[in-house]
Amino acid sequence: MKSGKKLDLSLYLVLDANLCKTPEGMAETARKAVEGGCTVVQLRAPEWKKKKQLRAAFLLKELLKDTDVLFIVDDHIDIALLSGADGVHVGQEDIDPKYVRQFLGPDAVIGLSVGSIKELNTIGPDVDYIGIGPVFSTKTKVDAGAAVGLGLLEYISKEAGLPNVAIGGINQSNAADCIRHGADGVAVVSVICGAEDPKAAAAAIKKAVNDALSI
- List the catalytic residues: 44, 113, 141
The alpha carbon of residue 48 and the mean position of all alpha carbons in its chain are separated, in whole angstroms, by 18
Q: Is 202 exposed, middle or buried (0-12, 13-18, 19+ CB in 10 A)?
A: buried
Other C-beta atoms closer than 10 Å to the C-beta of 83 total 22
Confirm if 214 and 20 have CB atoms less than 8 A apart. no
Return d(Cα 183, Cα 185) in angstroms, integer. 5
Confirm if 38 and 30 have CB atoms less than 8 A apart. yes
